[in-house]
Amino acid sequence: MNTRVLIVDDSATMRAILSRLLGSEPDIEVIGAAKDAMEARGMIRELNPDVVTLDIEMPGMNGLDFLEKIMQLRPMPVVVVSGITRKGADTTIRALELGAVDCYAKPDGSVNALLENDGGTLASMVREAARVRFVRVASKPSAPVSPVAQQTIVASRSANAITKLIAIGASTGGVEALHHLLPAFPTTCPPTVIVQHISAAFAPAMAERLDRQCNATVKLIESGEILKPGHIYIAPGNEKHAIIGGAGDSIIAKMMDGEKVSGHRPSIDSMFESVAQRLGPAAIGILLTGMGQDGARGLLAMRRAGGRTIAQDEATSTVYGMPRAAADLGAAENILPLPRIAERALSAAGLQ
């Protein structure tokens, strides 16, 4: 059965281009194209699409407001189509936090560049989106650790000692999951490294938004930097693998060239496997929602090295692909709903 798609974009030219990109695929049917939120609302009711592509910079009701209403009243798979300007990137990350499945970056310059350089990317996103089912985890992110609890933690450990490291992998639905998970990490959390499958164009905005929401400092990985407690490091999605190494007391993150692993670069498997080798039982691995199998093999390596391992459960995963693969391999010591993962990970790190 074909995937039925509704395109929402205020530009007639962009509607035509997106229709051409998707309509040329044998398994995708473009059932309509709306110029604004009001028209889209009526077409959603009438046509019941499998997937909506949504421009988030539209006149009248903007795409964010419309997306929020969709997710509250009639959750469905939405792929955000956005420019890669600074404003566009910030808004796209907010859309992913609200529940959009993926983000498709419009190239700068001529719209013909989209046709020339797409390479089937949008169609792949639509196919993956069509497999998504929706759950509502909580009305707001996890509560931060209280100042009193943080003071107790500080008193119980050396300010410079790194006794643990947390490694997190996520893909489809991961931005929303991280938005719920990371605010619970205190300013004294172990260094935490994240590989989230996301376009490099949007990774800086994701790190900046999470930094504003979290107690710990959130930043993109700079190759060669020494990892510190109280910091959360996100792989920049720049077509290099995030590898954890170092010697002695220093733990160093490097961005390394290499072939795709498990279909991705950066790959969660590559990051997890390097963590297993460098830290062994001193690491905690978390595999969140996502399509495919990236991270499952690496999480197994962490568990075999003595690390503590956690996979998100099916009920709270946007896509139970990567966590299922980990569960099937026996890689996950614990399979938990998203609201319980932070508590278990911090406990394993000796912080609760």
Please identify every residue annotated as catalytic.
Answer: 171, 197, 294
For 92-147, the DSSP string reads HHHHHHHT--EEEEEPSS-THHHHHH-TTHHHHHHHHHHT-------SSPPPPPPH
- 109: CB partners within 8 A, 6+ apart: none
Which residues lie across from 335 on neighbouring strands? 311
Phi, psi values for residue 150, rounded to 5°:
-65, -40
The backbone region for 262, taken as left when phi is positive above 0, alpha when psi lies in -120 to 50, beta otherwise, is left
What b-and-e string marks burial along 61-91, b requiring 16 or more CB atoms within 10 Å of the CB? eebbebbeebbeeeebbbbbbbbbeeebbbb
- DSSP state letters, 175-233: HHHHHHHGGGS-TTPPPEEEEE---TTTHHHHHHHHHHH-SSEEEE--TTEEP-TTEEE
CA distances to 86, 123, 273, 278, 350 from 162, rounded to whole Å, are 35, 44, 19, 13, 12
CB-CB neighbours of 352 under 10 Å: 16
* Distance set, CA 78 to CA 1, 28, 68, 88 (Å): 19, 15, 11, 16
Tokens at 57, concatenated: 């910079």
